[in-house]
């Protein structure tokens, strides 16, 4: 298909002449572009993708552009539009990267869709992440309008960044060989609400197919921060969907269990970790909360915001911003939230000096070290595991083993174990024990926990069978 487009649109005219060949030819750029358009079309025929027309966004020597896409891609897109293969929606202004840039929205036209319909290529056959940088260093910048944007920063590799990259390469290789899906779904995607930005509240289609399992790590700050901020794992579809779906995730057609660290950031700060530090001994705002359980949610929210924020005002504003319209807690004033925070620090005074000082990114770095240790352990065992920051999803039969590894990892990184909690879609059976003579333990019954039966849709079973066929073929 690309060969036909190349000939029709005279893409060969754009190829560099002479002995000095570019990192990526114009034909190669056309292939990358068409593969992106095709994958988006397979997922949602109405979906557009953003396309920057700013030459500064195509730095061939950048580590974030290892494929070598040059500003020449702008002319290639123009030709696709001129020849009727792309529909272009203009007028979207984007400032990502700190430079004012014009970003168009492009999607396949009816003409290109008719060509796509003749292709038999599926998402298993397209690797969009072949050249992707796995260790990303990112900083937040504020423009002249006061808006915050994120910018990827160039850096020099060290022995440590190379080690992290090799670990994630091995992990992504394991994920590619692993079937991760939800048996109750007919279609291989989930509708998820967009939580931030101009499209807040709109539905976003999240693919749960083989095209959306790639993972990378994002560190925050500048080169001078020496990779001591952030570092969490991002990218997999399990990080992009509402948490209500997670108990139903199956790995290689087996049910799973999710084990997470309890209140990991407060507990990283506490000398003696607590199972539930957010439950206070009294109701601080009786005019607002009827019971301590209702109050706990607000305490948790404001404490986590204060751990991440650089001032109390920013923490309180972020707390209210995180609440949906109509949520009563969105009406809590700065004074009320301060009372909750004061009650928390009265109970745990050793945390007080860490609040509203921007400690969050340093704590994320600690929990990312813990996560990396756990992921690397299981990758070396060739055992699939997926991570949602401070929680881990694995085959349900490995729960006790995972708890031990999580204990060891938290002790190794932070010198102390942190309590854990398990979430699973299970049911319990209790059996009476008749023993003669009686058991030394004195037990008279035994309770077993097994996964609940989940009805698998025919489409899910087809996806599972297809995965097995693809793995045998490779």
- Confirm whether 213 is domain-assigned: yes
- The residue from 120, 147, 171 where one domain ends is 120
Other beta carbons less than 10 A from residue 291's beta carbon: 8
137 shares its domain with 104 = no
Q: What is the mean pLDDT of residues 326-352?
A: 94
Structure-token pair, residue 180: 């991760």
- Give residue 240's pLDDT: 94
Judged by phi (left if over 0) then psi (alpha if -120 to 50, else beta), residue 275 lies in: alpha
- The residue from 120, 151, 186 where one domain ends is 120
- Confirm whether 226 is domain-assigned: yes
378 shares its domain with 232 = yes
110 shares its domain with 138 = no
Residues sharing a CB contact under 8 Å with residue 2, sequence separation 6 or more, in sequence order: 27, 30, 31, 34
Domain range enclosing 386: 122-263+359-415+458-474
The H or E element containing residue 393 is: strand 391-395
Residues sharing a CB contact under 8 Å with residue 243, sequence separation 6 or more, in sequence order: 388
- Give residue 423's pLDDT: 86
199 shares its domain with 238 = yes
- Give residue 196's pLDDT: 72
118: DSSP letter: T
Does residue 134 contact residue 216 with C-beta atoms inside 8 Å?
yes
- Report the C-alpha dihedral over residues 215, 219, 222, 225, rounded to 10 degrees: -150
Q: Report how many domains make up the chain.
A: 3
- Confirm whether 449 is domain-assigned: no
- Confirm whether 185 is domain-assigned: yes
- Give the position of tokens 């349900």: 396
258 shares its domain with 317 = no
Secondary-structure breakdown of the chain: helix, strand, coil percentages, each rounded to the nearest 5: 45, 20, 35
193 shares its domain with 111 = no
Task: Say whether the peptide bond before residue 437 is cis (omega within 30 degrees of 0).
Answer: yes
Does residue 96 have a pLDDT over 70? no
374 shares its domain with 470 = yes
72 shares its domain with 137 = no
- Confirm whether 331 is domain-assigned: yes
The tens digit of pLDDT for each residue in 382-411 reads: 999 999 999 999 999 999 999 999 999 999
- The residue from 120, 147, 165 where one domain ends is 120
Band (pLDDT 50/70/90 cuts) for residue 193 is: confident
Does residue 436 have a pLDDT over 50? yes
392 shares its domain with 307 = no
Q: Is the dihedral of CA 195, 200, 203, 206 positive or negative?
A: negative
196 shares its domain with 322 = no
311 shares its domain with 257 = no
- Give residue 123's pLDDT: 79
Band (pLDDT 50/70/90 cuts) for residue 145 is: low
- Confirm whether 176 is domain-assigned: yes
Phi, psi angles (nearest 5°) of residue 276: -145, 85
The tens digit of pLDDT for each residue in 49-73 reads: 889 898 988 999 999 999 999 999 9
Structure-token pair, residue 441: 């333990």
Q: What is the mean pLDDT of residues 340-355?
A: 94
Q: Please work out, in degrees rounded to the nearest 5, the angle formed at the alpha carbon of residue 460 by the alpha carbons of 454 and 461.
A: 90
- Confirm whether 277 is domain-assigned: no
Residues sharing a CB contact under 8 Å with residue 308, sequence separation 6 or more, in sequence order: 315, 318, 358, 359, 360, 361
- Confirm whether 431 is domain-assigned: no
- Give residue 316's pLDDT: 96
149 shares its domain with 219 = yes
Does residue 236 contact residue 386 with C-beta atoms inside 8 Å?
yes
Does residue 17 have a pLDDT over 90? no
- Give residue 48's pLDDT: 87
The tens digit of pLDDT for each residue in 235-272 reads: 999 999 999 999 999 999 999 999 999 999 999 999 98
């Amino acid at each position: 298909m690309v060969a036909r487009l190349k000939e029709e649109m005279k893409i060969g005219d754009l190829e560099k002449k002479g002995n000095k060949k570019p990192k990526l030819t114009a034909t190669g750029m056309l292939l990358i572009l068409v593969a992106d358009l095709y994958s988006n079309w397979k997922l949602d025929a109405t979906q557009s993708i953003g396309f920057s027309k700013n030459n500064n966004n195509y730095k061939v020597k950048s580590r974030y552009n290892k494929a070598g896409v040059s500003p020449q891609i702008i002319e290639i897109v123009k030709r696709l539009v001129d020849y009727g293969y792309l529909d272009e929606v203009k007028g979207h202004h984007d400032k990502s990267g700190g430079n004012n840039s014009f970003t168009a929205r492009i999607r396949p036209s009816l003409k290109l869709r008719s060509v796509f319909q003749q292709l038999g290529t599926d998402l298993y056959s397209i690797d969009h992440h072949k050249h992707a940088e796995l260790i990303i260093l990112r900083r937040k910048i504020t423009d002249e309008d006061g808006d915050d944007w994120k910018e990827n920063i160039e850096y020099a590799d060290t022995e440590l960044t190379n080690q992290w990259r090799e670990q994630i390469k091995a992990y992504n290789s394991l994920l590619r060989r692993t079937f991760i899906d939800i048996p109750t779904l007919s279609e291989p995607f989930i509708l998820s609400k967009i939580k931030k930005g101009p499209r807040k509240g709109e539905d976003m289609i999240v693919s749960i197919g083989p095209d959306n399992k790639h993972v990378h790590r994002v560190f925050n700050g500048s080169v001078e921060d020496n990779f001591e901020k952030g570092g969490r794992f991002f990218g997999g579809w399990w990080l992009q969907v509402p948490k209500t779906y997670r108990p139903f995730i199956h790995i290689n057609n087996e049910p799973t269990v999710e084990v997470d660290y309890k209140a990991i950031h407060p507990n990283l700060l506490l000398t003696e970790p607590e199972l539930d530090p957010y439950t206070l001994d009294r109701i601080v705002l009786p005019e607002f909360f009827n019971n301590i359980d209702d109050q706990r949610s607000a305490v948790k929210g404001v404490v986590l915001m204060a751990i991440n924020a650089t001032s109390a005002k920013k923490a309180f504003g972020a707390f209210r911003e995180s609440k949906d319209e109509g949520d009563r807690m969105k009406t809590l004033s700065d004074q009320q939230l301060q009372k909750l925070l004061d009650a928390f620090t009265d109970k745990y005074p050793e945390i007080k000096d860490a609040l509203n000082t921007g400690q969050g990114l340093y704590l994320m770095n600690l929990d990312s070290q813990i996560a990396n240790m756990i992921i690397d352990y299981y990758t070396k065992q060739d055992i699939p595991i997926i991570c949602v920051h401070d929680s881990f999803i694995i085959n349900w039969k490995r729960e006790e083993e995972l708890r031990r590894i999580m204990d060891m990892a938290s002790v190794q990184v932070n010198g102390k174990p942190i309590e854990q909690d398990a979430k699973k879609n299970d049911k319990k059976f209790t059996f009476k024990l008749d023993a003669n003579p009686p058991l030394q333990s004195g037990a008279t019954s035994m309770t077993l926990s097994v996964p609940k039966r989940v009805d698998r849709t025919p489409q899910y079973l087809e996806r599972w069978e297809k995965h097995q066929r693809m793995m045998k073929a490779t």
